[in-house]
């Protein structure tokens, strides 16, 4: 049995109504937690929501604020008709509500803000994209193009703020709105032509799966390399990181790991995730969400076999190249070698 992760209690300073079904929660992070809640543009927070049965559920919500613009950390949540967590937030959270939170996580974040960015957002996918956009305007020097798709004008989150930002930086920021009610659902051909003048930019894409699929097709048609196309999916957590979980499966093994230019040999007990083995050995492996959705803990399997409990981030090509998620892997052979180099 593995215990739940350490979480922090943070009060909500303000609830801002963005649209009829979306709101932003401005967090009042106390000074003693400022370091723990430092974040990069595009990251998310994991929130514990009280469950109807007395337990809890966990949901990840992206930060829409900018760490470079002096904003207080803010998450934006869109109500989903059958979404228990989003409805609880919309109906129950007010200024003064104390939320149980895990620190910021996620890898949907630029390594540098100085480049040119082609941003695609669909619906509430604007949330992490907005964080990147505002940060690039403040701390970067390049051009930013946002293509933002919604069903109609009333569903455009941050509509007034986007208008203000574009007016303040007309030579650096271009915002293109796509409204289904006027233009129909976006298709790859149309988005390809919108993106063509900016095919040399770094692309960041977030939104519903059908929207992201046509955006990725459009970018592929333009020859945009996969390494310059960054995608953030909205996913439900399979495990609740706030609660204890039983880890099953696997076999006793010996793990050889190449990390930080050093090779270590470690005992890997059955039923233990590889990431926990590395942490228990006082090594410093990269990781973030621990839920198999961010990819920060990815490493390459050199020899041996593992089984992954969950994977929502590695593509088929990554798996074919031998990449695995340390946070989700248990040993499936007696000798295993991995590399982070």
**pLDDT tens readout for residues 213-228:** 999 999 999 999 988 9
Among 57-66, 234-243, 261-270, 274-283, the minimum mean pLDDT is found in 234-243
- Look at residues 212, 239, 232 and name the one whose alpha carbon lies nearest to residue 63: 232
pLDDT of residue 53: 78
- Look at residues 211, 163, 208 and name the one whose alpha carbon lies nearest to residue 191: 211
CATH match for 117-232 among 3.90.1150.10, 3.40.50.720, 3.40.50.80, 3.40.640.10: 3.40.50.80
What's the token pair of residue 132? 């990147």
Looking at residues 132-154, what average pLDDT do you find?
A: 97
What's the token pair of residue 241? 């990181």
Count of other CB atoms within 10 angstroms of residue 164: 11
- Look at residues 197, 221, 224 and name the one whose alpha carbon lies nearest to residue 143: 197
pLDDT of residue 238: 62
* CATH class in words for 8-105: mainly beta
Could you tell me the residue ranges of all domains in the chain?
8-105, 117-232, 253-339
Work out the mean pLDDT of the chain and round it to a whole number: 92
3-state secondary structure 208-237: CHHHHHHHHHHHHHCCCCHHHEEEECCCCC
- d(CA 36, CA 104) in angstroms, rounded, equals 8
- d(CA 240, CA 230) in angstroms, rounded, equals 26
pLDDT of residue 3: 44
CATH match for 253-339 among 2.60.40.420, 2.40.33.20, 1.10.150.120, 3.10.20.30: 3.10.20.30
248: pLDDT strictly greater than 90: no
Please give the sequence-ordered ranges of beta strands (E in DSSP) within the chain, or none if there are none.
Answer: 8-19, 22-27, 44-50, 56-62, 74-78, 98-105, 117-122, 144-150, 173-179, 202-206, 229-232, 253-259, 262-268, 298-303, 306-308, 323-325, 329-331, 335-339
Among 170-179, 237-246, 309-318, the minimum mean pLDDT is found in 237-246
- Look at residues 14, 76, 73 and name the one whose alpha carbon lies nearest to residue 41: 73
Burial 300-318 (b: 16+ CB within 10 A, else e): ebeebebebbebbbbeeeb
- d(CA 154, CA 161) in angstroms, rounded, equals 14
Percent of the chain with pLDDT over 90: 79
Looking at residues 135-148, what average pLDDT do you find?
A: 98
Tens digits of residue pLDDT in 165-178: 999 999 999 999 99
Of the pLDDT bands very low, low, confident and very high (cuts 50, 70, 90), residue 266 is: very high
Give the SS3 label for residue 141: coil
**pTM listed for this prediction:** 0.84
pLDDT: which is higher, 296 or 219:
219
CA 87 from centroid of its chain's CA atoms: 21
112: pLDDT strictly greater than 60: yes
pLDDT of residue 317: 84
Rg of the chain, C-alpha, whole Å: 21
- d(CA 103, CA 298) in angstroms, rounded, equals 20
Looking at residues 2-20, what average pLDDT do you find?
A: 85
CA 45 from centroid of its chain's CA atoms: 9
| CA-to-CA separations, 82 to 16, 22, 60, in angstroms, rounded | 22, 15, 16
Of the pLDDT bands very low, low, confident and very high (cuts 50, 70, 90), residue 2 is: very low
């Amino acid at each position: 049995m593995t215990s739940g992760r350490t979480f922090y209690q943070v009060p909500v300073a303000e609830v801002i109504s963005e649209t009829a079904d979306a709101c932003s929660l401005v967090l009042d992070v106390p000074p003693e937690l400022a370091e723990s809640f430092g974040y990069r543009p595009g990251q998310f927070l994991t929130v514990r929501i009280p469950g109807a049965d007395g337990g809890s559920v966990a949901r990840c919500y992206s930060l829409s604020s900018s760490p470079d613009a002096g904003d207080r950390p803010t998450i934006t949540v869109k109500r989903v008709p059958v979404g228990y967590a989003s409805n609880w937030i919309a109906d129950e959270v007010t200024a003064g509500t104390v939320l149980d939170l895990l620190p910021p996580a996620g890898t949907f974040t630029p390594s540098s803000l100085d480049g040119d960015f082609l941003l695609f957002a669909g619906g509430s996918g604007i949330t992490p994209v907005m964080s990147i956009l505002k940060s690039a305007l403040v701390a970067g020097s390049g051009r930013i193009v946002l293509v933002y798709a919604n069903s109609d004008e009333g569903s455009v989150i941050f509509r007034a703020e986007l208008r203000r930002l574009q007016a303040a930086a007309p030579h650096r920021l271009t915002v293109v709105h796509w409204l289904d009610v006027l233009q129909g659902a976006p298709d790859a051909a149309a988005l390809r032509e919108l993106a063509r003048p900016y095919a040399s930019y770094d692309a960041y894409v977030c939104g519903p799966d059908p929207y992201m699929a046509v955006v990725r097709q459009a970018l592929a048609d333009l020859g945009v390399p996969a390494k310059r196309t960054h995608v953030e999916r909205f996913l439900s957590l399979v495990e609740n990181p706030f609660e204890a979980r039983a880890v099953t499966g696997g076999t006793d093994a010996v793990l050889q790991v190449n990390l930080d230019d050093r090779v270590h040999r470690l005992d890997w007990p059955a039923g233990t995730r590889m990431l926990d083995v590395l942490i228990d050995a006082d090594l410093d492996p990269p990781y973030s969400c621990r839920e198999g959705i961010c990819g920060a803990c990815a490493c390459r399997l050199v020899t041996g076999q593992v089984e992954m409990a969950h994977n929502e981030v590695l593509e088929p090509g990554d798996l074919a190249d031998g990449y695995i998620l340390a946070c989700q892997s248990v040993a499936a052979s007696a000798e295993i070698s991995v590399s982070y180099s």
